[in-house]
């Protein structure tokens, strides 16, 4: 049976779970929602034990909808550790839903199961990864260690809040497909380095 999500219980029902949470954002007056709903219920039943299934009536969750940019329905979001991992908008066939879920469920489970490293360890690990990435791609990491630390702390803050290391200098819209372009290193950084000598955040420089 699906958990019913409201603004009041959202944090309690979504955060701190030992399994990913699949949330169906719908409305009773939405015809595509009525088509997708039974499909999600069937799929969720088959994945019982691997995920938690929840439903959220858009009319009952204005604050949550605003927070995550849910402005179209049906919208389906898979949460791991209280943050969105993946999702889609609109009714989709059962086989497409299953393929999508299988693809991202492992990632979500990993986020739930693996404890986060200490913040300082994460900063150092990411700094080294970005330094290696810069060298391989013909540019450099910002020579200021303090600047790099601030930028990476911003990336980690976005990861904690949204589930992805979104560029801290760009707005997170809530549109998962569009926001994916802002996962560092973002799709814009090469052109920005070529044009301005650095990416928007100044993490990478010529």
pLDDT in tens, 38-95: 999 999 999 888 889 999 999 889 998 888 888 889 999 988 877 888 889 999 999 9
Is 167 an active-site residue? no
pLDDT in tens, 135-188: 999 999 999 999 999 999 999 888 888 878 899 998 888 787 788 899 999 999
- Residue ranges per domain, the chain? 3-113, 119-205
Check if the beta carbon of residue 206 is closer than 8 Å to that of residue 193. Answer: yes
pLDDT in tens, 85-103: 888 999 999 999 998 888 8
Catalytic site residue from 33, 186, 199, 201: 33
Closest CA to 15 of 84, 115, 94, 117: 84
Catalytic site residue from 30, 186, 199, 201: 30
Residue 3 reports pLDDT greater than 60: yes
pLDDT in tens, 117-138: 444 567 888 889 999 999 999 9
**119-205 — its CATH code?**
3.90.460.10
Domain 3-113: CATH superfamily is: Glutaredoxin (3.40.30.10)
Query: How many H helices and E strands in the chain?
Result: 8, 7
Is 30 an active-site residue? yes
């Amino acid at each position: 049976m699906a958990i019913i999500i409201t603004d009041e219980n959202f944090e309690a029902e979504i955060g701190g779970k030992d399994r990913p949470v699949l949330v169906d954002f719908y409305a009773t007056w939405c015809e595509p929602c009525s088509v997708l709903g039974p499909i999600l219920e069937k799929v969720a039943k088959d994945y019982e034990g691997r995920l938690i299934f929840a439903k959220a009536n858009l009319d009952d969750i204005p604050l949550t909808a605003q927070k995550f940019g849910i402005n179209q329905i049906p919208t389906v979001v898979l949460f791991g550790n209280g943050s969105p991992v993946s999702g889609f908008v609109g009714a989709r066939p059962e086989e497409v839903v299953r393929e999508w879920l299988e693809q991202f469920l492992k990632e979500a489970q990993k986020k739930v199961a693996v404890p986060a490293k200490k913040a300082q360890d994460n900063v150092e690990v990411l700094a080294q990864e970005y330094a290696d990435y810069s060298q391989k791609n013909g540019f450099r990491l910002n020579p200021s260690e303090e600047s790099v630390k601030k930028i990476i702390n911003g990336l980690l803050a976005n990861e904690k809040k949204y589930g992805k290391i979104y560029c801290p200098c760009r707005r997170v819209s809530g549109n998962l497909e569009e926001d994916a372009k802002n996962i560092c290193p973002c799709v814009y950084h090469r052109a920005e380095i070529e044009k301005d000598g650095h990416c928007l955040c100044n993490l990478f420089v010529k």
